[in-house]
Amino acid sequence: MINLKIDGNQVQIGSGATILMAAEKADVKIPTLCYLKKVSPTGACRICVVEIEGADKPMTACNTQATEGMVVTTQTEKLAAIRKQIVELLLVNHPLDCPVCDAGGECDLQNICYDLDVATQPFMAEDVNAGVIDKWPLIQQVPNRCVMCEKCVKVCHETVGSSALFISERGDKAFIDKDLSLCEFCGNCVSACPTGTMISKTFKFKARPWELTKTSSVCTYCAAQCQVDINVKNKQVYRVTSKDDVTVNDGNLCIGGYFGYGYINSEKRLTSPQVKSGGQMQKADWSEALSTVVDKIKAIRDESGASALAGLSSPRLTNEENYLFQKLFRAGIGSNNIDSEARFGALRVQKILNDKLGLKGASHSISHIGKADAVLVVGSDVTAEAPALDWQIEAACRSKRDGKLIVANMRPVKLTRHANTPLEYKPGSEVALVNALSKLILEKGQADEAQLKDLVANFDEMKAHLEKVDVKAAAESCGLSVDLLEEAAGYLGAAGSVALIFGGDICKSKNAEQSIAAIANLAIVSGALSGEAGGLFPVDEKGNSQGLIEMGAYPEMLPGYQDYAANKATFEKAWRATLPADGKDALGILEGIEKGEIKFLYLAATNPLVSFPMSNRWRQALEKVEFLVVQDILSSDLVALADVVLPGASFAEKTGSVTALDNRVSCLSKAIPCVGDAREDWEVFGEIYMRLVGKSDCPDSDLILQEIRELVPVYEGVCFAGGGHGQICLKSNFEIKPGQLQYTAVDAAPAEEGLQLLSGKSMFHFGTTSTFADGPLSVVDAGYVEINSDDAAAVSIKDGDRVKVSVGDASVTVVARVDDCYRQGILFAPYHFADANIQGLMPGVQNRVAATLSKA
């Protein structure tokens, strides 16, 4: 500890702290402009100068380390004069366009002028500022408003890790420039900008900051669930912001959170119920629409039995909504034919991790990633799937600590460029790779065998199995060198704490179960599951998959991971209903429709035509099913297929809780009323349920929560206190009891050769809603396929050409993005765009398939 005196106050602070940190501790306010707590100090503005006894020159508090016995003075006439003069200089040629500047009212330069009493302008200089930069998507740069604090540059480089921003030119002509190819369009530069230099184009000229009402809520675009403030004027969402320091995401957002809100007020919103009449969709009132649905449910049930009805729920819905949805089907309708797109990834992960490790969700809070000594990201473009995890990785391995980063994927992703060890494996060789890492760690004596003996039920089997793993053969199968595998294993083995992150490229693949089991094994061997840092982090790109699973919106389990058959009686008692014996999962439902056994399908906030593999088969099924209810927020191809359309609400329009991938439960707040006649989805489910069971009052959300707490053990201790930042709760912590961990002997399958089409999440789009938001659309507005230059050359395709991607008889035509940075043999295509219909090429529950390429 260091002892120093600031303005006469004795302060004690940890070694390495700056004078500014010490002053903060002593409650001494030193004016700053370029200081941003979450990044390294820049020392650009010089406004925080202080006098230090024994030093002739004033020194900047933000980047001068406090030393023992230091005596600091923060307010003197000399310092006041320096500070004032610096601000006067900053104002030379600063345009007087505050009335039309977006930052007006929340501008640090305005504030500091006011604080330091800067009212005159003694200096002048030729205005050599660069012109306004308007050519970037989403962000406008106005150089003459810039104070060159570099907050944007630092956030971009340190927090986000994209390093797109830099200073161009010298002297007073210098301005912040950008390498567009690196930009993630996260908007963190805009939020960090203390003036109106970096401007959000989606917000520009729309509202003054003081007109906006901020409602604290949670972004549900991805499963990291950042805390946000929804900024509203006249019942419209004008922007989404987040606060530094007080939020789990430290004020950082991604393109989805910051620029992706446009769909909320989109013209394509479904604003009133519609009912098909005479082959045409007609507007209807709620009563009519709900009656039609309820009557149809009853009619089909009477005619064909409850098992002729099925429903698909959604990770876009809240916990309460998913709870109500499954209750509606099981208790209200009497059918257990319920599932969701979690079937194609998240559920597989959940089952294996729960079975083998007793793990429900991630093992730890995502902040544990930021403290890990080594991070392995395998089969995930985590920057796209859950950007907040990327920021944690940046902190662990780049900007704050010296953690080692291993990025294993069949294709290069953003994080590959930061990796200590990049492991670009051949598609299908995941198990070989992960098994080899486990083996090497154990073989080199880097695993804590004593602890493993205690925790792993089948320790001897584990040792025996790993002993048999042939590292050389594994390396060959992966197309990697043994040295590289040894290096990666060495980093993981030597690390005091390990974070393992895996995602869509593994979880949605054909043989996902084997890969996931191998990763669970590696989590055991590497010690990732215990300790104060690191952990195991399965990533599903969708916002509330975790909550959906925990609410039991799938046939095998009742809410709270309670086996359906075993716990049916409990729920029958609680719900005063008789539950069906069994139910169909998504594939069963699909087949059921095809066979004519299922006649009624309820799609709740989900679009199989875009996000489900085999989307063409789903389209045929939706066309065939006798009665289709579509409850959604945006108009899509589904509307034309529906018999009844029920308009639901976006996250900004509803209350309810959601559960992040790391078990954080937070509550949404209603920032705006539902658009048009739309209703919160839970109200719709509740109403239908009530009508079916013959009651009149719809339960309110408190009652639902009460019921969840009583029936869902994992939520027993969770307090649902409503929206806002202060009310985050965690489900109970992951604790490992002796013998709890189960090693799974999985063996590697051969890697696959030849051109492979991989579908997945784009960095710039989220599910099926961001394609209705102007922001993300201005970066990527249509589907495409990424092709390696050599693969493209082989079929004479150039960047920008339209290409035909074929799988068997099916094919799609999309724009080619050709670059030598893409991996040879892999055609990556984002799935979000309905027109591109990439998912139509998937012949089964998988995200990768052998494909051929030709010029369209």
Partner 1 sequence: MSQVVFSSWGREVVDNRQGGETDLASINLKLAESYLDQGKVSAFIGWDGIILLDRETDVVALAAEYMKRVQEKHCCAKCSPGKRGTRVLQDALARIVNGEGKEQDLASIESVATLLDNCKCTLCMTSAIPVFDAVKHFRNDFVAYINGEKKPKTAKFYKDRVTAPCIDRCPAHIDIPTYIEEIKERRHDESLATIRDYMPIPAVCGRVCPHPCETGCRRALVDEPVSIMVMKRVASDHEWLHHKQPPMVPKPPTGKNVVVVGAGPAGLTCAYYLALEGHKVKIIEMLEEPGGTVAVGIPDYRMPRPLLRREAEIIEALGVEIEYGVKLGQDVSLRELKENYDAVFLGTGAFKSKPMGVEGEDQGYDGFSEGGIHYLRAVALGQGMVTPKRVIVVGGGNTAIDCVRVALREGAEDSILVYRRTRAEMPAESYEVDDAEEENVQFEFLRNPTKLIVENNKVVGVEVIKMELGEPDESGRRRPQEVPGSEYVIDCDMVIPAIGQDPDLSYLEDGDYGIEQTRWNSIVTHGGTMMTDNEGVFAGGDCEYGAMTVVLAVGHGRRAARVMNRYLTEGKVYLDADDAMEDMFNRFGVFDKNEVIGISGGLHREHQPKIDGAERATNYEEIELAMPESQAVREAERCLRCYRVGMVAVD
Interface ranges with partner 1 (CB under 8 A): 16, 40, 42-47, 49, 52, 54-60, 63-65, 67-68, 70, 82, 85-86, 89-90, 92, 122-126, 128, 147-148, 150, 157-158, 163, 167, 169-174, 398-402, 418-422, 484
Least distance between partner 1 and beta carbon 126 (Å): 5
Least distance between partner 1 and beta carbon 374 (Å): 14
Least distance between partner 1 and beta carbon 157 (Å): 7
Tally Cβ neighbours within 10 Å of residue 53: 10
Least distance between partner 1 and beta carbon 83 (Å): 10
The smaller minimum CB distance to partner 1, of residues 394 and 791, is found at 394
Least distance between partner 1 and beta carbon 33 (Å): 8
Least distance between partner 1 and beta carbon 67 (Å): 4
Least distance between partner 1 and beta carbon 118 (Å): 13
Closest among 164, 165, 84, 66 to 123, alpha carbons compared: 84
Least distance between partner 1 and beta carbon 375 (Å): 14
Helix axis angle, 286-304 to 681-693, nearest 10°: 50
User: What distance in Å separates the CA atoms of residue 544 and residue 319, rounded to the nearest whole number?
Assistant: 8
- Geometric angle at alpha carbon 754, from 749 and 755, rounded to 5°: 120
How far is C-alpha 761 from the chain's CA centre? Answer: 11
Tally Cβ neighbours within 10 Å of residue 722: 15
Secondary-structure percent of the chain, ordered helix, strand, coil, rounded to 5: 35, 20, 45
Least distance between partner 1 and beta carbon 730 (Å): 30
Least distance between partner 1 and beta carbon 44 (Å): 5
The smaller minimum CB distance to partner 1, of residues 89 and 299, is found at 89
Helix axis angle, 482-494 to 430-443, nearest 10°: 60
The smaller minimum CB distance to partner 1, of residues 163 and 616, is found at 163
- Geometric angle at alpha carbon 793, from 788 and 798, rounded to 5°: 80
Terminus-to-terminus CA distance in the chain, angstroms?
A: 69
The smaller minimum CB distance to partner 1, of residues 49 and 294, is found at 49
The smaller minimum CB distance to partner 1, of residues 69 and 596, is found at 69
Q: Give the 3-state secondary structure of residue 621.
A: helix
The smaller minimum CB distance to partner 1, of residues 214 and 418, is found at 418
Element (H, E) at 313: none
Least distance between partner 1 and beta carbon 89 (Å): 4
The smaller minimum CB distance to partner 1, of residues 63 and 511, is found at 63
The smaller minimum CB distance to partner 1, of residues 63 and 562, is found at 63
Contact (CB, 8 A) for 311 and 293: no
Element (H, E) at 734: none
The smaller minimum CB distance to partner 1, of residues 131 and 305, is found at 131
User: What distance in Å separates the CA atoms of residue 40 and residue 236, rounded to the nearest whole number?
Assistant: 36
Contact (CB, 8 A) for 498 and 492: yes
Least distance between partner 1 and beta carbon 94 (Å): 10
| Cα atoms in the 13 Å half-sphere on the side-chain side of 467 | 6
Q: What Rg value do the Cα atoms of the chain yield, rounded?
A: 28
What backbone phi and psi angles, to 5 degrees, belong to 826? -115, 125
The smaller minimum CB distance to partner 1, of residues 53 and 702, is found at 53
The smaller minimum CB distance to partner 1, of residues 81 and 581, is found at 81
Question: Tokens representing 748?
Answer: 């590697």
Q: 729: which residues sit within 8 A by CB, 6+ positions away?
A: 664, 665, 666, 717, 718, 719, 720
User: What distance in Å separates the CA atoms of residue 102 and residue 203, rounded to the nearest whole number?
Assistant: 8
Least distance between partner 1 and beta carbon 831 (Å): 31
The smaller minimum CB distance to partner 1, of residues 88 and 582, is found at 88
User: What distance in Å separates the CA atoms of residue 340 and residue 322, rounded to the nearest whole number?
Assistant: 10
The smaller minimum CB distance to partner 1, of residues 484 and 693, is found at 484
How far is C-alpha 222 from the chain's CA centre? Answer: 3
- Geometric angle at alpha carbon 547, from 695 and 499, rounded to 5°: 170
CA-CA distances (angstroms) from residue 279 to 434, 599, 634, 640, 641?
54, 18, 21, 10, 10
